[in-house]
Amino acid sequence: MSERIQKVLAEAGVASRRAIESLIVEGRISVNGEPATLGQKIDAKDRVKVDGRAVRLTVKQAVTRVLLYKKRVGELVTRDDPEGRKTIFKKLPELESGRWIAVGRLDINTSGLLLLTNDGELARRLTHPSFELEREYAVRVLGEMSDEILHSLRKGVQLEDGMAHFDSIVPGDNEDGTGANQWWLVTLKEGRNREVRRLFESQGLQVSRLIRVRYGPIELGRGVKSGGYRELTPDEMNRVLTQVGMERDRKKAERKTARPKQRE
């Protein structure tokens, strides 16, 4: 049975549907030797290539997997770097089909929790603003935090790409913070480029350390070394799928499949 190319490639772990649409528009995807088109229907018999590399299409969708990776400062969330710097993808386990998709990004100077999945649709939902998944960060800030600044950061600040604010900002563990260096815990529901840093910088403050400690229902916790990873537990997987509606959609599909066909 043929399906839209965006859906098939997302399920194969190539990228999110939105990213696949961009690849198609850029002419980087071909089907049976011809440029792919938006909305084109394909099946497992078609020969699909992305940037000249063949994509393995299977009738049976791979089991959805999610990794929790603890990123180090200095590592890049990219597959290839022209400068030869360290990338997190070289450390990940191999997949029989598809590839790992990073859920959002962390810049080279940010550490902490990064989720990766082989399911393009799950990656899309986890990053789409409509699902409003909270991201929580521990931030060490250099500078004096006044009540006026706190009010501005909570209410909203005009950045170059629009208004932005923290959904919450509270003092963190300041045992190792001295003088002007203080830790804060902040949450927001967006994933704009360097948004946390830019918010503080807009108030004349400098971020000296930035660690993501939670993404949606998943916390960084302990037990994973820097530069290491682990699979989410069944309970964590259920919480992730439930929060973005995929567990509900899956049960609905199972009920539909199990429903006996009516005779003509």
pLDDT of 147 above 70: yes
The answer to whether residues 99 and 227 belong to one domain is: yes
Average pLDDT of the residues of the chain? 88
The answer to whether residues 81 and 189 belong to one domain is: no
pLDDT of 72 above 50: yes
Task: Give residue-wise pLDDT tens across range 9-39.
Answer: 988 888 888 899 999 999 999 999 999 999 9
Give the pLDDT confidence score for residue 60 in this predicted structure: 55
The reply to whether 259 falls in a domain is no
The answer to whether residues 71 and 185 belong to one domain is: no
Task: Look at the chain and report how many structural domains it folds into.
Answer: 3
Residues with a known catalytic role: 107
The reply to whether 145 falls in a domain is yes
The reply to whether 258 falls in a domain is no
Q: What band does 223 get if pLDDT is binned at 50, 70 and 90?
A: confident
pLDDT of 165 above 80: yes
Task: Give residue-wise pLDDT tens across range 44-65.
Answer: 889 999 999 999 886 556 689 9
Domain that holds residue 179: 134-215
Give the pLDDT confidence score for residue 61 in this predicted structure: 60
The answer to whether residues 74 and 33 belong to one domain is: no
The answer to whether residues 43 and 104 belong to one domain is: no
Read off the CATH number of the domain in which 39 is found: 3.10.290.10
Task: Give residue-wise pLDDT tens across range 169-207.
Answer: 999 987 555 567 899 999 999 888 899 999 999 999 999
The reply to whether 21 falls in a domain is yes
The answer to whether residues 106 and 227 belong to one domain is: yes
The reply to whether 119 falls in a domain is yes
The answer to whether residues 44 and 152 belong to one domain is: no
Residues 136 and 140: their CA atoms lie apart, in Å, by 13
The answer to whether residues 151 and 182 belong to one domain is: yes
Ranking 19-23, 127-131, 245-249 by mean pLDDT, the lowest is 245-249
- Of 88, 106, 95, which Cα lies nearest the Cα of 215? 106
The answer to whether residues 78 and 35 belong to one domain is: no
Instruction: Tell me the average pLDDT across 146-168.
Output: 95
The answer to whether residues 179 and 83 belong to one domain is: no
The answer to whether residues 123 and 192 belong to one domain is: no
Read off the CATH number of the domain in which 90 is found: 3.30.2350.10
The answer to whether residues 141 and 210 belong to one domain is: yes
Residues 140 and 64: their CA atoms lie apart, in Å, by 35
| Helix pair 17-25, 120-127: axis angle to 10 deg | 100
The reply to whether 173 falls in a domain is yes
